[in-house]
Amino acid sequence: MKYYKFGDKNGRYIGSNDKYDVYENTIASRIAENNEKIKKEPYEMYFNYGPSAGGLRESVNFNIVTPGETIRDITVNSYYKRRRIKIINDDIDTALLKVERINGFHSASNTVCFLLAVEDALNIDNHNSNNKRIIEIELERIRSNLDVIKGLCESAGFSVPEKQLLYLMEKVTRIISDTFNHRYFFSANYINNVYGNFDSIKLDDIYKEFNEIYNGLLESKIFMDRIQENGIVKDANSTGPAARASGYKYDARIDSKSLVYNNYNIFAMEDGDTFSRFMVRSNEIFSSIEIINNNLNKINNNKNDVKIENKSGEGAARIESPQGDIFYYANIENNKIKELSIISPSYLNIELFKKAIKNNNILTDFFFVWNSFGIWISELEVDFI
Amino acid sequence: MMWFLKGIKKRIKTENLNDKYKIKYPSVLEGKSDYNCPTGAIENNKWVKEKCIFCEKCDLKPTYKQDMYNINNNIPDIFKKSFYLYPIDSGTCGACNTEFNTIFSPQYDINRFKIFLSNTPRHADALVIMGVYTENMDKVIENAYDAMPEPKLLIGLGACSVSGGIIGEKISKKFDIEILGCPPSPYTIINAILKARGNVK
Ligand code: SF4
Ligand code: SF4
């Protein structure tokens, strides 16, 4: 492993799974938490929502303790859709098909991070593919951020911008599909290779159309009232847009060596509320377009040789997915997966959501706050067997 | 009011289903291959569309056709008037959920065919089940199905729910309509539902 080692806490906290606590530079054994069930006072009630309900895209259950209007406490039960994916002993090609489907909406981030870990384990030079990988991850970020902002419009009952954003998401999806032959990047990524026709990537319209929607939302007093000063959370243990919305300039595009971005300027806000997360997500759409345009000029279309020096080894990688740091650890023995571990940004984002929603919010704020974190259960609730 | 005017000014046009943009994968595959398919979707050199995840590894060729579905039962005429869908995520990767939501986007606008989302299974005509079988969601699906009024339909959306795909086990229920692909494209989803309701020949 070039950039990671097993050891104690070192650097900022990235997240945990059942086995590991991962920090900026180290992988530590998991310290189990003491999960106490929340208790209600006599004047309070439990409000149970999900796992399947209108308004929820994925299966997840919330148990809210409320005296009537405010949210005093909450548990998030994400285990309902837990998938057990048979991947141990798979060869890398077969494992890749499964990794693509850990979080299909963020398939590029998951797949690229997995491949970077595999390339680290097998000592494969990947510098020829990394510009293309940056382009696909930034395209994914644009779609993902549009989705989060669409969710905020939906929560506010703003159907016109909601539908306009859905329209833009489909436009971005078609650019992805024309470039990579698949609307979710499936089968586009291989070891030291990205298959795609990058000439189809033109983003000027997306920039212009999103800019109009963004300015329209900023001018809307009703929308601003709904998202300002709710869901406030500022916590040193945070990740992605939620961290950057609260003054923590964490970004794996800057502080990870796995996939190096040059000259990236972090956009950050201070207040840590839903509005700040909206601002970070919006401004990162503009910066992602700029990153893509810069990288399109640097693409190297030479056929990449894959020289595999080792057949066994351990590797790890961390990159900035649209919701924050995503981390993969892969242990490979004779080209087969011996151990695979993922730290999803949704782990920390759920912790942040719980803190944010308990911080002086009422039940009607619930969807604004939940949607502002862009949490995906699919990549959190996965067992590799 | 401001957004209402902005909406009118923008004039986003819903597309005619015939002005399709081209989707290479997934689309109906043709030809022959003896490739050792990772999901067993090639049996005796023949393609088994229900199991295919469109991984592009075999010699089968994409045709760009977006009509991969099975209609397994007669669908009552009553659903021609209006049709309410209630989606349930059993164990998805998220892509099937996203494609399902996309059919409500301005480009596809499935509402124009009198097809709507229901917020509860109690008012739904069809349950749309996505993702692989998971133990905890099995009971939730059962409860949702029991809560629906008669007549009611079960739709399986995506390779995971219909065959298990590459991720796990399929849903144990028998589907009235199976919509195939990993994930099925918005065109395939719309074509399957319109065909099942008898809106198109
Ligand atoms: S495309 Fe992939 S999944 Fe489909 S038949 Fe060919 S090898 Fe099997
Ligand atoms: S069928 Fe494919 S796209 Fe749909 S949930 Fe399963 S793996 Fe994801």
**Domain segments of chain A as ranges:** 5-36+82-384
**What pLDDT does residue A35 have?**
60
Where residue A305 falls (left for φ over 0; alpha for ψ -120 to 50; beta otherwise) is beta
Is A247's pLDDT higher than 90?
Answer: yes
CA nearest neighbour of B18 among B82, B81, B80, B66: B66
Where do the structural domains in chain B lie, given as residue ranges? 70-197
The pLDDT score that the predictor gives to residue B166 is: 98
Predicted local confidence at residue A74, as pLDDT: 94
Residue A203, pLDDT score: 98
Q: What is the pLDDT of residue B7?
A: 77
Question: Which residues, 6+ apart, have CB-to-CB distance to A212 below 8 Å?
Answer: none
Chain A from 304 to 333: CB within 8 A of any B CB? none
In CATH terms, the fold of domain B70-197 is: Rossmann fold (3.40.50)
Q: Per residue in A294-332, pLDDT tens?
A: 999 888 776 666 767 678 999 999 999 999 999 999 999
CA distance A148 to A369: 11
pLDDT bucket at A277, cuts 50 / 70 / 90 = very high
Is the CB of B58 within 6 Å of ligand 1? Answer: yes
**What ipTM does the predicted assembly reach?**
0.96
pLDDT per position as a tens digit, A262-273: 889 999 999 999
Quick one: average pLDDT of A367-371?
95
Mean pLDDT over the full length of chain B:
94
Option in A81, A178, A378 nearest B137 (CB): A81
Residue with tokens 């377009």: A289
pLDDT digits (tens, 9 = 90+) for B4-31: 787 777 777 789 887 778 999 999 999 9
Query: What's the pLDDT score for residue A95?
Result: 97
Query: B69-82, pLDDT tens digit by residue?
Result: 999 999 999 999 89
CA distance A75 to chain B (A): 17
- Evaluate if residue A235 carries a pLDDT over 70: yes
CA distance A136 to B127: 34
Fill in the DSSP letter of residue B51: G
Nearest CA to CA, how far is B150 from chain A (Å)?
20
Q: Do A170 and B131 touch (CB under 8 A)?
A: no
Predicted local confidence at residue A303, as pLDDT = 66
As a whole number, mean pLDDT of residues A150-164 equals 95
Nearest to A214 by CA among A139, A273, A144, A284: A284
Which residues from B are below 8 Å from A87, CB to CB?
Answer: none
Please choose, from the candidates B168, B145, B156, B89, the residue with its C-alpha nearest in 3D space to the C-alpha of residue A51.
Answer: B89
State which H helix or E strand residue B90 sits in.
strand B83-91
CATH H-level superfamily of A5-36+82-384: Cytochrome-c3 Hydrogenase, chain B (1.10.645.10)
Report pLDDT for B6. 78
**How confident is the model at residue A298, as a pLDDT?**
86
Q: How far is the CA of B40 from the centre of ligand 1 (A)?
A: 8
Angle at A44 between CA A38 and CA A48, to 5 degrees: 65
Read off the pLDDT of residues A286-296 as tens digits, 9 standing for 90 and up: 999 999 999 99
Choose the weakest-confidence range: A119-128, B50-59, B96-105: A119-128
What average pLDDT does the segment B173-177 reach?
A: 97
Residue B201: pLDDT band (50, 70, 90) is low
Please check the confidence at residue B1 and state whether its pLDDT lies above 90. no
What value does the mean pLDDT of chain A take? 93
pLDDT band at residue A32 under the 50/70/90 scheme: low
Q: Crossing angle for the helix pair A159-180 and A204-219, nearest 10 degrees?
A: 160
Which of A80-84, A108-112, A309-313, B40-44 bottoms out in mean pLDDT, i.e. has the lowest? A309-313
Region A64-82: mean pLDDT is: 93
Interface of B with A in 26-85 (CB under 8 A): 38, 53-57
Could you tell me the pLDDT band of residue A36, with boundaries at 50, 70 and 90?
low
Closest ligand to residue B46's CA: 1
The pLDDT value recorded for residue A359 is 82
**Packing angle between helix A130-155 and helix A107-121, nearest 10 degrees?**
150
CA of A180 relative to ligand 2 center, distance in Å: 18
Q: What is the mean pLDDT of residues A156-167?
A: 95
Whether residue A33 is predicted with pLDDT greater than 70 in this model: the reply is no
Q: What is the pLDDT of residue B86?
A: 97
Compute the C-alpha angle A339/B57/B44, nearest 5°.
Answer: 110
Closest ligand 2 atom to B181 CA:
1
- Ligand 2 residue neighbourhood (C-beta within 6 Å): A 101, 104; B 92-93, 95-96, 130-131, 158-160, 165, 167, 182-183
**pLDDT category, B114, cuts 50, 70, 90?**
very high
**Per-residue pLDDT, A34:** 58
Q: What is the mean pLDDT of residues A354-375?
A: 92
Q: Report d(CA A101, CA B91) in Å as an integer.
A: 11
The stretch A142-168 carries a mean pLDDT of 96
- State which residue of chain A sits closest to B14, comparing Cα positions: A167
